[in-house]
Amino acid sequence: MRTLERNLSVLSKREYDLVIIGAGIFGVCAAWEAVLRGLSVAIIDKGDFVSATSANHFKMAHGGIRYLQHGDIPRIRESSRERSALLRIAPHLVKPLPIVIPTYGHGIKGKAFLGAGIMLYDLLTLDRNRDILRNRMIPGGRFLSRRKVIELFPGIEGKKLTGGAVFFDGQIYNSPRLGIAFLRAAVEAGADSANYVEVHGFLRKNARIIGVKARDVLSRDEFEVRAKMILNTAGPWAHRLLNAKLGLEISPLPTFSRDLAFVVKRKTSHDYGIAFSTVTKDTDTIIDRGGRHLFAVPWREYTLIGVWHQVFQGLPEEITVTRDEMQKFLQEVNSAFPAMDVSLKDILMINTGLTLFGSEDDQKNNNLSFGKRSLVIDHAKEHGLEGILTLIGVRATTARGMAAKAIDIIIDRLNKKRTKSRTTNIPIWGGDFRSMNDLIRDARREFPKTLKPEIINALIYNYGSKYRELFKYMNENPNWLKPLGNSTVLEAEIIHAVREEMAQKLSDVVFRRTDLGAGGYRDKSVLQRSAEIVANELGWNEERLCQELKETEKVFPQF
């Protein structure tokens, strides 16, 4: 069984069918898709795997119900199909989430109107539960009484409240680990991978790209990786890379919105999320119900609130959220739903990233028209340059499907026989099981009784059917079975992240391999102990250890 081993010498020793630049969710899905179609694949990223937007979104597997307002039936079907695929192939990481839309009066915000919309959505997605585990199925919509809505959400505006309409969407337990699971599946099937490897140029022969010039970000060593095809999945860096290294310009020039959500330490007594209207308009809807919805949803031991969209014109590296911006967002949240009563001191973690928005023409105002489609650009057709495609994705939910479309084109360019995609049904790393309840029961029987049930549950959610990989570390050192502080993360998981999942920095471990950073700042002793374990594995000196601690602490909110 192949693990994520950072062996850069391998990359320069062969010619691949495909090199993928950018290991966000679209890149790792493309790697999994390509290797299952029989291609030799290498995937590299100038940062860590599944970082930036791929790690910091609202953690939803969207089924497309919002596109009813746009009358966009194809996108409803696409979104539902891709959500179903995630529920099939990653049942440990994706689950159904009920969301309540409060109903008011008897007009466009009333039960009859919303009920008709949800019924239409259910009809359009009748195949949404095909081959999905029973406890991962998406139920049909239903209604709640006025009393039940008030019971679930005390303090909700009660004037003219008639109850609530409920629809179900998908929620991702851990978005970085979803990407890592795709990547590990690809690597086990034969792909090569490396993080912290940047592309500083392309190898070109006449009008064809034949590889990339790469640089190890950590050692500064340079090398070449040769390939018959290149897939550029570098997200908001993608068009900049093309322009800087090849002189290619995408037209119209893509622009991005900064999507923002935040985590607060509020655990609800139920599993329902709530949608509430804001003053921000969704400008291209056919049916306007009075403003775009924000959501407050239960997530682990917390509540996740979002999403706030704003056009962002700076460099991806410059993405920030100021205190004033957060205050403005909180005012909008509290104005729309006063019962939330959230303040800066409640915020544990901020999730923000750049999502493809549209073109420069769409920047006329900040009332965003979102729901734009992903871009697949064949540079042979657009620029007369063979050997390279660019995929810039919109939503993580559709990454698998868009990756399949890109790989279709690449297979055609390689003059290989196109075979049907199988990634809608083959479980990714950790997803090969038939019952979540049975898996948790087996794990509780196999792990020592000293581990709390919530720790074992977290292990199953993160590792799925691969949870036994942690046993070897426990056998090597029983002390690694201890959780770090009051977290659900075992010391063994830190060892596992370094030895088998290519973690190179403390932030890789805290934010993308384990749950340590998901709900905000852990106390100093937890980060210190984590850093000591990584330092021992990677041979850091005291200076490097302190540097890694400082870099990690800066990621947490500083309000």
Output the pLDDT for position 370.
42
Residue with tokens 């259910």: 122
Phi, psi (5° rounding) for residue 415?
60, 35
d(CA 228, CA 241): 19
d(CA 547, CA 557): 18
What stretch of H or E contains 208? strand 208-216
Structural tokens at position 282: 């969704």
According to DSSP, the residues that pair with 165 across neighbouring strands are: 101, 143
Strands 293-299 and 222-232: unpaired
Question: Which amino acid makes up residue 19?
Answer: V
Residue with tokens 């899905």: 29
Q: Which one-letter DSSP state was computed for residue 366?
A: S
d(CA 205, CA 189): 30
Output the pLDDT for position 287.
45
Output the pLDDT for position 373.
80
Question: Which amino acid makes up residue 380?
Answer: A
Asked if 191 and 43 count as a contact pair (C-beta separation under 8 A), the reply is yes
Asked if 270 and 148 count as a contact pair (C-beta separation under 8 A), the reply is no
Q: Tally the C-alpha atoms within 13 A of residue 92's C-alpha that lie toward its C-beta.
A: 28
According to DSSP, the residues that pair with 96 across neighbouring strands are: 170
Per-residue pLDDT of the chain (559 residues; tens, 9 = 90+): 799 999 999 999 999 999 999 999 999 999 999 999 999 999 999 999 999 999 999 999 999 998 998 889 999 999 999 999 999 999 999 999 999 999 999 888 899 999 999 999 999 999 999 999 999 999 999 999 999 999 999 989 888 999 999 999 999 999 999 999 999 999 999 999 999 999 999 999 999 999 999 999 999 999 999 999 999 999 999 999 999 999 999 988 899 999 999 999 888 999 999 998 875 555 454 444 455 689 999 999 999 999 998 899 899 999 999 999 999 999 999 988 888 899 999 999 999 999 998 544 444 444 334 446 899 999 999 999 999 999 999 999 999 999 999 999 999 999 999 999 999 999 999 999 999 999 999 999 999 989 999 999 999 999 999 999 999 998 899 999 999 999 999 999 999 999 999 999 999 999 999 999 988 877 899 999 999 999 999 999 999 999 999 999 999 998 7
Burial status of residue 316 (CB atoms within 10 A of its CB: 0-12, 13-18, 19 or more): middle
Burial status of residue 474 (CB atoms within 10 A of its CB: 0-12, 13-18, 19 or more): middle
d(CA 56, CA 177): 12
d(CA 337, CA 100): 13
d(CA 142, CA 159): 22
Question: Which amino acid makes up residue 230?
Answer: I
Asked if 19 and 211 count as a contact pair (C-beta separation under 8 A), the reply is yes
d(CA 139, CA 158): 27
* CA distances to 85, 99, 422 from 129, in Å: 9, 18, 17
423: left (phi over 0), alpha (psi -120 to 50) or beta: alpha
Q: Please report how the helices 453-463 and 436-446 are oriented relative to each other, as an axis angle in degrees rounded to 10.
A: 120
Structural tokens at position 167: 């629809």
Phi, psi (5° rounding) for residue 433?
-160, 165
Burial status of residue 242 (CB atoms within 10 A of its CB: 0-12, 13-18, 19 or more): buried
Helices (H), 447-523: 453-463, 471-476, 491-500, 506-508
Asked if 49 and 509 count as a contact pair (C-beta separation under 8 A), the reply is no
Output the pLDDT for position 277.
81
According to DSSP, the residues that pair with 358 across neighbouring strands are: 255
Burial status of residue 114 (CB atoms within 10 A of its CB: 0-12, 13-18, 19 or more): buried
Phi, psi (5° rounding) for residue 280?
-75, 130
Helix, strand or coil, per DSSP, at residue 43 = strand
Beta strands in 235-301 (DSSP E): 254-264, 273-277, 293-299
d(CA 426, CA 400): 12
d(CA 133, CA 170): 14
Asked if 49 and 27 count as a contact pair (C-beta separation under 8 A), the reply is no
Long-range contacts of 104-109 (CB under 8 A, 24+ apart): 104/159, 104/160, 104/161, 104/162, 105/160, 105/162, 106/162, 108/287, 108/289, 108/290, 109/289, 109/290
Output the pLDDT for position 280.
56
Asked if 250 and 289 count as a contact pair (C-beta separation under 8 A), the reply is no
Helix, strand or coil, per DSSP, at residue 89 = helix
Question: Which amino acid makes up residue 505?
Answer: K
Q: Please report how the helices 399-413 and 25-36 are oriented relative to each other, as an axis angle in degrees rounded to 10.
A: 50
Helix, strand or coil, per DSSP, at residue 185 = helix
Output the pLDDT for position 358.
59
d(CA 348, CA 409): 43
d(CA 487, CA 454): 10
Output the pLDDT for position 292.
64
CA 56 to mean position of chain CA atoms? 7
Structural tokens at position 438: 């049975």
